[in-house]
Amino acid sequence: MTAAVAAGMRALLARRAAELETGAEAIGWKIGFNARAIQENFGLEGPVVGYLTDSTARAPGDVIALTGWHQPALEVEVAIRVGADGAVAALAPALELVDLDLPAGGLEGILAANVFHRGVVFGPETMGADISELAVSVVRARTGDDSGPPLAAGRLSEDPETTVEVVRSFLAAHGAKLTPGDRIIAGSLIAPLAIAPGDALEVTFGALGTLPARFS
């Protein structure tokens, strides 16, 4: 563990605690920096973990205002529900909205600001879905019969059980705990996709269904 990660996580967890004290409800956690190239850029041996509360949760179909954002981007993720036994209880499609404007302080500052997080959208949960070959695709919302070529596509690269253990271990190393009922968004299956006001997108998740993404 680097000093920057340790200091950044102390700030991140303090920020989370302050939000909960002022009325936010904990939802769970998010994987950050799941791409190996990004890990190498920051001198990391694996991903980092941020947090989710209901203050940034949006319903599917909501039009999300990007006013004041600097570098808004969409990440396509799988959401994992942690069961009473600590295992995977259910899966769902998910979208994370991030603002990739770099804060001051390098890696420590990124963690302190909750790893670019601005919002999360969850689709319906599914139990027992086979996602071993899951592929995702982002297209523009249909106009007539043609949505055009995919803007981005990707595949699942880590099974959900492994993701749960990664989050559990990372949190334990920083004095936090994964608990039953938590949700984890498991890292983007595509490179962050730049978005702008007026964009209307549809994201397909194979066996997990589809989610719209619309911005103003």
28: CATH:
3.90.850.10
Which pTM value belongs to this model? Answer: 0.94
- Range with lowest mean pLDDT among 6-10, 18-22, 34-38: 34-38
CA distance 158 to 148: 29
Domain containing residue 109: 3-131+157-195
Identify whether 200 is part of a domain.
no
- CA 197 to centroid of chain Cα atoms: 21
Give me the helices (H) in the chain, please.
3-21, 36-41, 106-112, 160-173
Q: Enumerate residues 6+ apart whose C-beta is below 8 A from 70.
A: 99, 100, 101
In the chain, how many H helices and how many E strands?
A: 4, 13
pLDDT (tens digit, 9 = 90+) per residue, 70-80?
Answer: 999 999 999 99
Structurally, the chain folds into a number of domains equal to 1
Identify whether 32 is part of a domain.
yes
* pLDDT at residue 104, rounded to an integer: 77
Return mean pLDDT, the chain: 93
Identify whether 148 is part of a domain.
no
The answer on pLDDT for 113 being more than 80 is: yes
* pLDDT at residue 76, rounded to an integer: 98
Identify whether 149 is part of a domain.
no
Identify whether 28 is part of a domain.
yes
Identify whether 212 is part of a domain.
no
Amino acid code (one letter) for 96: E
Which percentage of the chain shows pLDDT scores above 90?
82
Rounded to an integer, the average pLDDT of 15-38 is: 95
The answer on pLDDT for 145 being more than 70 is: no
* pLDDT at residue 136, rounded to an integer: 96
Rounded to an integer, the average pLDDT of 11-32 is: 97
Identify whether 140 is part of a domain.
no
Q: Is the separation of the CB atoms in 34 and 50 below 8 Å?
A: no
* pLDDT at residue 148, rounded to an integer: 72
The answer on pLDDT for 112 being more than 90 is: yes
Identify whether 202 is part of a domain.
no
CB-CB neighbours of 130 under 10 Å: 8
* pLDDT at residue 39, rounded to an integer: 86
Burial of 78 (C-beta count, 10 Å sphere; 0-12/13-18/19+): buried
